[in-house]
Each structure stands twice: as C-alpha cells, then as structure tokens.
C-alpha cells in the first residue's frame, strides 16, 4: 500500500459551512475567518456561492465578500456557481476558480437546484464556456455520490457516467460528495476504483460529511486508494439544506491531525488551524463537532 506523501486540502467552511447557519454572518466576519484559514496555511479556500439569495440567504453577500478578501500569494479563492448567471457574477467578482455541482440522483438534484440532471448538465456546459473564456479552471462536484436521502443507494455506474460528462465538458477535476454521510470505507475504495477505471487521468477529490462518525475512516480508505485531495470544513461546520439529517463536513483540523500523524504533508499549521476552529465557534455562537480542537494536538503516549 503506497500512501500519498502529500495531500491537498480544500477548505469549504466559509461556503459549505456557513451556508447552513440560520444566522447571517456579516461580511467582515467572513473575511476574518478566511484570512485566519489562509494564515494557517490553507491554500485553497471555497469562499462563496453565487446563488439566488432567496435560495441561500447566507451567501447574499458573495460579491462584496470576494471584493473584500485580501489576496495572498498562492491562495486560490473558489466560488461555487449553480448556473450561467452565477458564473458571470463570480468571474466579475474575481474568483480564481469555479466549482459546479450536479447530484447523482434525480430527486436530490431537483431539490437542490430545482431542475433534472440533464438540465443541470446543460447549464454546466454554459458555465464551462464562460470559464474557458475567462481562463479559469473549474471542478465538477457530484453530490449524493454515495447515497441519496430520497432514493437511497446510488450506483457507481451512474456516478462514473456523470463524471465522464463533466470531464468532457472541461472539468479539470471531479469531486465526489458524501452529502448525507452514509459512505463506508469499502464503498469509498470501490467507487474510487470505478472512477479510476472510467477516467484514469482525472484528478479526484473527496468531500465527506461526518453524519455517522465515519468521515475520517473514509479519508483513510481514500488515501489507501491513492486519493490525494480532500475537502474539509473548519470545526466541522456545515450540512446540506436539501439533505435532511446531513451533519457537518469532516472537520479540517481532524483531517490535518490524521495526516500529520501519518507523516503526510499538508502545508497546514495545525495549531493555527485549531485557533481558527475555536474562533469559528465564537463566530457561529455554538460548539462545533471537530474533535481535535478539544482533545489537543496529540494523543496521550500511554493509555491506562
């Protein structure tokens, strides 16, 4: 088993995390959170989503946020865009990279973006054209890749077919989302194998939720399958407004702890990241589920 020597982490807390909060977080506070994450060494940060404010009120300040963000050398600010309008707005706001999303199940796709899968792919094609014109890379997310809250099991074949479509449209990478946190390590390895067979030269990224406490185990399974790119959310912020029962994303600091202890490089300062996680708790005024920030950086050397 050859594990990656280094892993890239994409921090999604400012977007995927905060979008699920009931209370609107002021733009200046979001900027401070993102700045703290960048200072901790995170070089890929999903900063905002350019969606209808009626659908996701927390993201109504996306353009103002992007304008206010301090630009750090080597830091990529990513914007999630659901359609052509969102892409135009994100490009106008100087996003460095775009992300699109389509669900692996029809039911979730209709709940999430109010259209069938084929219409989403047609819209993504327009996004791809705008991204190419602007010279921006974009990644294609497949939500509910491991299971749907409405339809249950999702086939690996369906996920692979969607990944091929996204790749053909120009996605430089495919991200597989365990939107409701139902994945298990064996399933993770099987799905990664299916994607490797279908798209052997396409970078994969994994996006795990920790609904059932299996996210870190799934990270390890993906590492063993050769995946070297993961999403994380500071403190475990997040969920999904259109996936009942979905808990937060895997906590970035928990993933960094696992990788650090395994000798895998991330470029992230764990102490600064834990400070950011604790600050995020004050920001949303509640205890977040990330474990490492409460247990300390290292496990005890002896267990009695």
Which of these ranges, 150-159, 175-184, 226-235, 291-300, has the smallest mean pLDDT? 291-300
Count, residues in the chain = 304
Residue 233 tokens, joined: 């959310």
Q: How far apart are CA 19 and CA 125, in angstroms?
A: 25
**CA dist 300 to 148, 256, 262, 285, 296, Å?**
39, 18, 16, 30, 9
C-alpha count within 13 angstroms, C-beta hemisphere, residue 226:
12
- By CB atoms closer than 10 A (0-12, 13-18, 19+), residue 251 is buried
Task: Please report, for the chain, the start and end positions of each structural domain, with discontinuous segments joined by +.
Answer: 8-295
User: Tens digit of pLDDT for each residue in 184-195?
Assistant: 999 999 999 999
Catalytic residue set: 240
Query: What pLDDT shows up at residue 300?
Result: 47
What integer is the mean pLDDT of 121-146?
A: 98
User: Tens digit of pLDDT for each residue in 235-271?
Assistant: 999 865 555 555 689 999 999 999 999 999 999 999 9
Quick check: 278 and 298 in contact, CB under 8 A? no
User: Tens digit of pLDDT for each residue in 142-164?
Assistant: 999 999 999 999 999 999 999 99
Residue 78 tokens, joined: 């990513």
Class (C level, CATH) for 8-295 = alpha beta
* pLDDT averaged over every residue in the chain: 93
**CA dist 85 to 28, 52, 143, 248, Å?**
25, 10, 21, 28
Q: How far apart are CA 291 and CA 287, in angstroms?
A: 11
Residue written as tokens 């630009």? 71
Structure letter (DSSP) for residue 75: P
| pTM, two decimal places | 0.94
Q: How confident is the model at residue 35 (pLDDT cuts 50, 70, 90)?
A: very high
């Amino acid at each position: 088993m050859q594990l990656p020597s280094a892993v890239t982490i994409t921090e999604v807390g400012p977007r995927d995390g905060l979008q699920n909060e009931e209370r609107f977080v002021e733009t200046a506070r979001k900027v401070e959170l993102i700045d703290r994450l960048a200072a901790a060494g995170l070089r890929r940060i999903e900063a905002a989503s350019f969606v209808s404010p009626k659908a996701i009120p927390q993201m109504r300040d996306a353009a103002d946020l992007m304008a206010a963000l301090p630009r750090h050398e080597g830091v990529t600010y990513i914007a999630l865009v659901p359609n052509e309008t969102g892409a135009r707005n994100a490009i106008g706001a100087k996003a460095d990279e775009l992300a699109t999303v389509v669900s692996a199940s029809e039911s979730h796709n209709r709940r999430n973006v109010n259209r069938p899968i084929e219409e989403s792919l047609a819209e993504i094609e327009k996004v791809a054209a705008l991204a190419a014109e602007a010279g921006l890379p974009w990644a294609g997310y497949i939500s509910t890749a491991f299971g749907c809250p409405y339809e249950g099991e999702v086939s690996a074949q369906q996920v692979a077919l969607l990944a091929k479509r996204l790749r053909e449209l120009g996605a430089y990478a495919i991200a597989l989302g365990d939107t409701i946190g139902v994945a298990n390590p064996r399933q993770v390895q099987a799905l990664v194998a299916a994607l490797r067979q279908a798209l052997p030269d396409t970078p994969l990224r994994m996006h795990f939720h920790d609904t059932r406490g299996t996210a870190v185990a799934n990270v390890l399974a993906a590492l063993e399958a050769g995946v070297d790119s993961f999403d994380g959310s500071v403190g475990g912020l997040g969920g999904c407004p259109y996936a009942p029962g979905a808990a937060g994303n895997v906590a970035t600091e928990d993933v960094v702890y696992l990788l650090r202890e395994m000798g895998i490089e991330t470029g992230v300062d764990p102490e600064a990241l834990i400070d950011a996680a604790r600050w995020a708790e004050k920001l949303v005024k509640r205890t977040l589920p990330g474990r490492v920030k409460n247990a300390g950086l290292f496990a005890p050397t002896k267990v009695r």
